[in-house]
Amino acid sequence: MSKSTLGNWLLTLGMVMGGISAANSDKAGVWKNIEAGQALPGEYLLHPVTVDGQEAPLVEADSPLDAATVGRLAAAGIERVQVRNPTRPNETIAVADEALAGRVLDEAVMLSFTTTTLKRGERLTPKNLLDLRAAEIETVPVADGELPVSDGSLVGEELTADLIFQLPERLPAGTFLGPEQIERLRSAGIQEATARINREFTFGGWQLAWMFALAVIAMVSGVALKRSDRAGSGSADDETSDIGLLKRHLRELSTVVDGLAERADELADQEISSALDPLFTDRCIPFVEGRQAIAIRHGIGTFTEVLSAFSSGERWLNRAWSAAVDRNVEEARLSLREAAPKLRDALAALP
């Protein structure tokens, strides 16, 4: 087994272990030790607690852990229980309170309403239907009568009368409350908002922290082995190396596209599509499939610079091909001229 293959296995193993351990770090409950007579103020059971020989739970889920409840649990020989983390899912905070900054909305907040008008004869678009649903409009007047807004076939239908409605503007649940969002709340006269309570994280409560440490070691070792194998397999300019093949694909792609761009005014639509077909299969796809070799050999900075320029050039090639297939030859020619410099930039960025 080569160093590169072993490195790939270690990277895969590390990512799997890291994902499992990271998921374990975000728990809905944490373990708490209990002692008879000592309450756990503000804590609630995550799951019901049962004892052998009894069908009914000794203590129900969501029960507060006051002194009496803890005493019953301790008397049954229970030494620790899982409590909710956090104790409650959200809290209401005044908009003027600095503690709201950096939190996440748990409930949507209505800011204002905007008067919107759809004119008679206007054709309905998917966005129109979404706006009407948000405004809780149930039906719209079209040629076939008053039809429900929920009917997706209304797209493209003409309105037979004006529609005037109030479109609500809101901050949806899940919105991050930065300075701009908080200012919008203040401007709308909102006094308070309901924010999520983040779960408390402690390394002590992370049962799979050891697995995460092993995952980091595995991934670092995998990268080291792959770099070592690359370093011993030849220079970056070796045409038989992964990076060499990528550079050759990109160089030949750029050369052909440059030629097509120079002769664009002479090319018919079918000639353009026929010329681009083999470039996608023989040059673009192999380059994209092997792109990780750039990051391994030259680092993430070069990888980002090369792929940004290449992706832009590839998009223009796709536009050129689509336009040519649709027999829009002028659009195809323009797209070829746009693609050429992008691909030259990608080639220049690849050492």
Q: For the domain that residue 314 is a member of, what is the CATH number?
A: 1.20.120
Residues 98 and 156 in one domain: yes
Residues 246 and 344 in one domain: yes
Which residue type is seen at 292? Q
Domains held by the chain: number: 3
Domain-embedded: residue 314: yes
Residues 73 and 105 in one domain: no
- Mean pLDDT, rounded, of the chain: 85
Domain-embedded: residue 22: no
Domain-embedded: residue 56: yes
Regarding predicted confidence, which is higher, 240 or 242? 242
Residues 40 and 114 in one domain: no
Residues 99 and 190 in one domain: yes
pLDDT band, residue 190 (cuts 50/70/90): very high
Give the pLDDT confidence of 242-282 residue by residue, as tens digits.
788 899 999 999 999 999 999 998 899 889 988 999 998 88
Q: Nearest-CA neighbor of 118 among 169, 171, 165? A: 165
Residue that has been written with the tokens 């402690």 in this structure: 202
Domain-embedded: residue 207: no
What angle, rounded to 10 degrees, do the helices at 300-325 and 269-279 form?
A: 150
Residues 98 and 152 in one domain: yes
Q: Does residue 240 surpass a pLDDT of 70?
A: no
| CA angle, residues 65, 68, 71, in degrees to nearest 5 | 90
Structure tokens at 189: 């006269």
Last residue of a domain, one of 132, 167, 196: 196
Residues 279 and 342 in one domain: yes
d(CA 51, CA 78): 9
Query: For residue 237, what pLDDT is reported?
Result: 44
Average pLDDT over residues 203-221: 79
Average pLDDT over residues 319-342: 90
Last residue of a domain, one of 196, 224, 255: 196
pLDDT band, residue 239 (cuts 50/70/90): very low
Within 13 A of 15's CA, how many CA atoms are on the CB side? 7
CB 199 within 8 A of CB 86: yes
Structure tokens at 325: 């297939």
Give the pLDDT confidence of 12-31 residue by residue, as tens digits.
888 888 788 776 665 666 78
Residues 106 and 59 in one domain: no
Length of the chain: 351
Domain-embedded: residue 211: no
Domain-embedded: residue 220: no
| Burial class for 309, CB neighbours closer than 10 Å (0-12, 13-18, 19+) | buried
Least confident of 150-154, 232-236, 306-310: 232-236
Give the pLDDT confidence of 108-163 residue by residue, as tens digits.
898 988 899 999 999 998 888 888 888 889 999 999 899 998 877 788 899 999 99
pLDDT band, residue 83 (cuts 50/70/90): confident
Alpha helices in 155-299 (DSSP H): 179-187, 209-232, 242-262, 269-279, 285-289, 292-298
CB 253 within 8 A of CB 32: no
Structure tokens at 84: 């909710």
d(CA 33, CA 53): 24
Domain-embedded: residue 16: no
Range of the domain at 109: 92-196
Last residue of a domain, one of 88, 118, 141: 88
45: CATH: 3.90.105
Residues 132 and 84 in one domain: no
Domain-embedded: residue 217: no
